[in-house]
Structure 1
């Protein structure tokens, strides 16, 4: 068990190092002057030279990479050229919006998708299955930013129940803050719920065909009991895989939704850094997103060990 975890941790560190090298190559080493990109073509030579010195661009690429990755390992992601503050503080501040938004969206997705997937699997070929299939096809086909616009028109413009955008901050209270996150969370959750419903249905159907489920039924267990005691718990491994991928997508892929609802999250920070040509913030946010994906995948691997005892046995062997 410990050896398996050690191998996974070493793989995580190696993957993160490889990703950081790739990010550095794309941002710093490929043709083009980062300082000129940030200042524009009309920048004065003296200003350009000063920025190049400030960014360390007059040093060899290897030294720049070692300096950058060493500082990042200690939590120092550099100084934003646009805002004039540490990038780590900017990301931490924006995470106070993006992280609750992603958690709320994943909870909504799970609350909707898992019961619907189990229902469709237990009623395969009947009208509940047809309704669930129609829901999954519609939710996957609609982009989340378009769903967000529809939600604004209905619940903000027409009914006036929820705010159409902006974030009052957690200092204004949990009620106003959560109400500002409801519509964007629904817009993010619906497409993901469609995907998760399909995965849940397929996983439950696969388990229902296993011998141990038929044996449980032959011993007198009701269909409902066999479904929830045996089929659903054993179908959670592929569901957990999709949940891990969806959580990272909801954090790293919420750029459009955060901009539609004017939420000051990490996705909007990345978009603003791109429009303002703040390459230091862009580089740091991409590294943060990559590290987040790698860490979440590692946590999903740990969840496998908890859900599937066979994997623990292989690790011990």
Structure 2
């Protein structure tokens, strides 16, 4: 097991390095004259040159990359080119919002999806068509459309929830919960539908195996058989779906944060990209990749626990 964990950690570090490296060089290749853009339309050539030297853009590109990487591994993500704010401080303020949305939506989707998929696999009958309709609806309605509908109906028309804004948990737990209900709901539908479908298919397949029929013939109770044997063997499909869905949720939070005016990493990345603020974009990208890798490693370890064959 320790060897498997080591391989997964090494692979995660390599993936982070590849993604941030490609991102850095692509950003610089397609951002044009960043110093001129940040200096303004009325800036003279001399002023642009000064700005270029201040930002270190007069150095070779590889030297700029090594400068950023050597500081990033020590936790220093630099300073914003547009606001002069520490990138680490900017991310620290906004990261909890994105984590609440993405992790909360993942956990809720896991519980609802696995429960619905298992129920449909065991009961079958009329539940199968209902699940299929739910799956189609989850694929058909994108998160941003659902966010707009939820905001218009439950926030604007009924006034049950705030239409925009975020309240920290430490400030007011009740208002915090109220401010995240609609955004999380907008993200949950599609992932829940996907997890439910995968869980249903995997559970049906496991229920049809010979060893399950053997355990039934030996008098094992249906509940114990389902919870201990069937779900553990059907878990890899659900966990794989969740790991892939988490990546989609991180990108989905960018749109949802804009709809509900939430101060998360999505809105920060959007603003930084528009203003060509590369240190901020790189900082957000690094944190996003680290989150994806960390969640995938956790889910891989859960798969390895559920199915020892995965470790080979």
- What is the TM-score with the length of structure 1 in the denominator? 0.91
Please report how far the alpha carbon of residue 300 of structure 1 lies from its aligned counterpart in structure 2 after TM superposition.
Answer: 2.3
| CA distance in 2 between partners of 1:310 and 1:163 (Å) | 48
Contact 2:164 2:262 in 1 (8 A): yes
**Counterpart contact for 2:168–2:176, Cα < 8 Å:** yes
Give the secondary structure class of the aligned counterpart of 1:277: coil
Per-residue deviation, 1:136: 1.3
Deviation per CA, 1:41-65: give whole Å up to 9, x if none.
5543233222211221111222211
Per-residue deviation, residues 166-224 of structure 1 (Å, max 9, x unmatched): 11333421111121000000001111111111111111112112221111112223445
Residue aligned with 1:76, SS: coil
TM superposition outliers: structure 1 runs of 4+ over 6 Å? none
In 1: Cα distance, 2:21 partner to 2:68 partner: 10
- Tell me the residue number matched to 1:288: 287
- Cα deviation for residue 74 of structure 1 reads 0.9
- Structure 1, unaligned stretches of length 5 or more? none
Which ranges in structure 2 are unaligned for 5 or more consecutive residues? none
Structure 1's 120 and 43: CA in aligned 2 closer, same or farther, altered over 3 A? farther
1:22 — aligned with what?
A: 22
In structure 2, do the counterparts of structure 1 residues 293 and 43 end up closer, same or farther at CA, with 3 Å as the change threshold?
farther
> Deviation digits for residues 238-288 of structure 1, max 9, x if unmatched?
211222222333234311100000000011111111233322212221232
Superposed CA RMSD in Å reads 2.0
Give the Cα–Cα distance (whole angstroms) in 2 for the partners of residues 10 and 226 of structure 1.
Answer: 37
For 1:176, the equivalent position in structure 2 comes to 175
Aligned residue-pair number? 312
Q: Cα gap change, 1:31/1:304 in structure 2, threshold over 3 Å: closer, same or farther?
A: same
Cα pair 2:206 2:233 within 8 Å, conserved: yes
Alpha carbons of structure 1 residues 251 and 122: separation in structure 2 relative to 1, 3 Å: same
**2:120, 2:128 within 8 Å by CA — same for their partners in 1?**
yes
The 8 Å contact of residues 34 and 279 in structure 1, kept in 2 or not, is answered as no
Q: Residue 189 of structure 2 corresponds to which residue in structure 1?
A: 190
